[in-house]
Structure 1
Amino acid sequence: MTTQLQDAARPYSPAALTSLLSPDTRVLALGEPTHGVDAFLDLRNELLVHLVEHEGYRSVAVESDCLAALTADAYVTEGAGDLDTVMATGFSHGFGASAANRALLSWMRDHNGTCAPEDRVRFHGVDGPLEITGAASPRPVLTALRDHLATHLGPGLVPSAETLDALLGPDGRWTHPDVMTDPGASPGRTDDARELRLLADDLQSLLTAHAPQLLAAASTEAHRRAELYARTATGLLRYHAALADTSPHRIATLLGLRATMMADNLDAVLRTEERRGRTLVFAHNAHLQRNLSSLTMGGTLFEWWSLGAILSARLGTGYAFAATTFGTRNGTDTPAPTTLEGLLAALPHPRTLVDPRRLATALPQQPDLRTPADHTYFPLDPATTDLTDAVVFLPEI
C-alpha cells in the first residue's frame, strides 16, 4: 500500500502546499489536530513567512480572543507595549505561553519594521471572548460601542451610560463559574438580558446606518473596531442566552454560536484585508474543516457546522483548508499500520504533503480511523479527506 500512497504524497514544503490550492484562494486555513504542541505552530510560522514573502499574504488570524488580539496587532504593527506584556494579554486560552507564538509576534514585528504601513502584516483573533469555563461579560464591548456612537452622533440617539450600566448589573453574574454547567445560574434570559439584546441590535443598526458620518468623523480603523465591538456584543448576548437554555440542545447550540462568531470575525478580517492581500488562518482542524463537526459528551452526540464549513459555503473556492496530523507523540501512541497516519509513517519524508484528490485512487481501500490514546487529539477521518485541499503529516511530535 505504501507504493500506491507515494503517488499521492511528496515531501512537504510551503511552496508544494500552495501548489495544491485554487488560484481563487482568499484565505488559507491551516489546522492543527491538537493544542499545546509547538511543532504545528512552528509549521504555521514557516508557512506564513513563505506566504508573506512569495504569495502576497498580508495578515494572519488565529484561534484566539478577537479583543485580546488587538493588543498583539498593535505590537506587531506599531511596536506598542513590550513583548512580555503582549504575550500575557494579547492571547486567550493560555496560548500566550507558547514559544512559537512568541516567535510569531517577534518575526512579524521585525518584518513590519522594514515595511511601508500598507504592507505590514496584521494580526487578528477570530474567536470570541470565550473560555471553556464560560464567557466574558458584555459590558466592555457594549460600553465601548455606546461611547463611540455617543461621541460622534450625540447622546440623543443612544442610551445613557447609566441605563446601560443598570441593565448589565455586576459582571460577576455573567462570568460566574457555575454558569457553564448550570443554566439556572446564567443571567442570559432575564428581562435585563433581553433588553440588552435589543439595545445591542439597535446600536449595531445605528453603526451601519450612520457609517458615512462616522467614517468622516473618525478613522477607518476606529470604525472597524466599533464594528468588532458590535459583533462581539451581539454574539456574547446570544451565547449567554444559550447558556441559560435548559433543553438537550444546549451544548450543540453553544458550539454552533461559537463557530458563527468565529466565521463572522474571519469574514470581517477578509473584507478588511482583501485590498492588501490574502489571509492565513490557524486553528484546530475541527474549527476549519468543511464537514459537519461532532463531539460526544456523557454519551450524547452533539453536531454543528464549524467556522470552516460556514466560510467555505460563503467563499466557495476562495476558501482552502490544509489539515495536519501526526504519527507518534514523544515516541508513544503509535498509529496502527492500517490507519492513514500509520500508512504515512511508512514513507521516508521528514514531513509529508498529501494531495487528497489523488489519495482515493492511490489506495485500494479506505484506511481505518485512528483511535488515539490522547483524548485531546482529534484524528483525521479518512472518510472526509476529500473535503480538504491538502494534508500535512509530521511523523513525530
Structure 2
Amino acid sequence: MYFIKHRFLRFLVEHLGFRSLVLETDWTIGIHLDEYLCTGRGDPQALLAATWGPLQTNEILDAIRWMRFYNLQHPTDTIRVVGGYFGAGHTQAYDAVADYVRCTMPERLDELETYFSVLRPTVGIDEHIEWYSSQRDKQLFIDHAQLAYQLVADLPTQAGHALALQHARFIVGFYEYQGLVSLDLDLDQRIAKSVIWWHEHTGDKVVYWGGIAHTANGSLLATGHSAGSYLRGHFGSGYASIGLTFHHGSGADPIPFPSSEFAEAVLGEVGLDTYLLDLHAGQPDSVQDWLNAPTKTRVIGPYYDPEKDSLFHMYGSLANWFDIIIHTQEITPARPLA
C-alpha cells in the first residue's frame, strides 16, 4: 500500500500541481524533513527512525528521497513536507519561537523563557511524555503554553510571525492533548487544522498521507469525526477522499480473505491485481445502490490481530466516505528501516 501511495503522490505532483505533503508525524520532525527536501541537509532515514512505527519503512524513505530528487530537478518549483502532529516536545519548536521573539521584541524574551522554563523538554520526547503524564497538575503546564502562545500572538506581525505562531500552537496542542483535557478538539480535528493552516500559509495543493479511517469523509472513529470530514467541511469538493483497499495479503501479520459482508469481498471479484474506481463516474443503478448502501470496510493499520478481526472495520457507505477507491488484490509487507 505504501508503494501505491508513493506512485499516486508522484502522479499528483507531476501532473496535477500538488506541492506539499502532510505526514502523520511530529511537527518538528516535519521541519527537518522539509529542510532535507529544500537543502539536502540532514539524514532522512534517521529522521524517520525517530517517528512512529508506520513511517519507519523504506517505502516512506523512498518517497522522501524521490521528493528531494524532484526538487533538485525543479529548483524553482519545489515540493514541501510538513508534520501534522503536535508532539512538539522537541526543543526546535521552542527555539524557533524564542528566535522570533528575540528578533522582534527582545524585551519580552525573559517573559517567554519564564513560561518555557516549565515546558521545554530536557530529555528525549518519549521520556518527556512519560514524565508529563506523571504530573498531577497538568493545567499548570497548559496555562504556561497558552500564555507563551498569546505572547507570540501579540507580537508585531513581521516575516516569520505566522510560522512562529504555529510553533507555539503546536506546543499548546502537545500539552493539551497529552493532558487529556481538550476533549472539544480531538486528534483528527487538530490534524485537519494543520492541513488547512499549511494550505493557507503556502498556497500549495496538499496531499494528506494517512490511514483511511482518518482521511475518509465521515464519522468513522470512536473519538468522533475523521480528519477527512473536517477537511471536506472546510474545502468542500476541493477535498478529494481517496480510499486504499485490499483483499488479502500480509502486513506485520497475515491478513486473510475478507468475509462476504465486507466491501473488499466484492471489490476483490474484479479480475485485476490493482485498479482505480472513480465513484463519481456514471454507474448502473445496481452499482450505485451498492455504493450508497451501508457496508463494512476493513481498517487495518500497522498492527492486526486475526483473533479480533471484527474490530478492524468501519461501517457506512463507500459513496459517502470516498471519491476514489484504489483497490489492490494482494498486499505484501512494507520493508522496515535497517
Both structures adopt the same fold (TM-score exceeding 0.5): yes
Bigger relative CO (Cα 8 Å, ≥ 6 apart)? 1
* Structure 1 residues 166 and 359: alpha-carbon distance in aligned structure 2, compared to 1, 3 A threshold: farther
Q: Given that residues 30 and 83 in structure 2 are in contact (C-alpha distance below 8 angstroms), is that contact kept between their aligned partners in structure 1?
A: yes
Between the aligned partners of 1:234 and 1:94, the Cα distance in structure 2 is: 24
- How many residues are treated as equivalent by the alignment? 314
1:124 aligns with 2:82: yes
2:138 aligned with 1:188:
yes
Flag the 1:43–1:202 CA change in 2: closer, same or farther, 3 A. same
Identity of aligned residues (%): 20
Please give the alpha-carbon distance, in whole angstroms, between the structure 2 residues aligned to 1:356 and 1:241.
Answer: 41
Match of residue 283 from structure 1: 210
Give the superposition deviation at 1:127.
1.7
Per-residue deviation, 1:188: 1.7
1:36 maps to none
| 1:170–1:108 Cα change, 3 Å | closer
SS at match of 1:336: coil
| Secondary structure, counterpart of 2:12 in structure 1 | helix
Tell me the distance in 1 between the aligned counterparts of 2:19 and 2:152. Answer: 28
Retained in 1: the 8 A contact 2:279–2:325? Answer: yes
Q: Secondary structure at the match of 1:102?
A: helix
Unaligned runs of 5+ in 1: 1-39, 130-135, 216-221, 296-302
Query: How does 1:81-160 map onto structure 2 within 5 Å?
Result: 81-89=42-50, 92-117=51-76, 119-129=77-87, 137=89, 141-142=93-94, 144-156=96-108, 159-160=111-112
Q: Distance in 2 between matches of 1:384 and 1:79?
A: 41
When the two structures are superposed, what TM-score results if normalisation uses the length of structure 1? 0.69
* Structure-1 residue corresponding to 2:336: none
Residues 1:148 and 1:93: Cα distance change in structure 2 (over 3 Å): same
- Alignment-derived partner of residue 314 in structure 1: 234
Residues 1:370 and 1:75: Cα distance change in structure 2 (over 3 Å): closer
**What is the distance in 2 between the residues matched to 1:203 and 1:347?**
58
Cα deviation, residue 257, structure 1: 2.7
1:238 aligns with 2:165: no
CA contact (8 A) 1:142 1:229 kept: yes
CA RMSD, 1 decimal: 3.1
Distance 1:240 1:99, change over 3 A: closer
Q: 1:341 aligns with which of 264, 267, 285?
A: 264
Q: Which runs of 5+ in 2 are unaligned?
A: 332-338
TM-score by length of 2: 0.80
Q: Mark the CA change 1:271 to 1:364 in structure 2 (over 3 Å): closer, same or farther.
A: closer
Q: Is the 8 A contact 1:263 1:311 kept in 2?
A: yes
Larger deviation, residues 225-234 vs 309-318: 225-234
Q: Deviations over 1:32-84 (max 9, x none)?
A: xxxxxxxx221111112112221111121111112101111111221112344
Once residues 39 and 285 of structure 2 are traced to their aligned partners in structure 1, the CA distance between those partners, rounded to angstroms, is 47
Q: Distance in 2 between matches of 1:390 and 1:61?
A: 19
Residue 304 of structure 1 aligns to a residue in which SS?
Answer: coil
- Distance across 2 between alignment mates of 1:336 and 1:282: 28
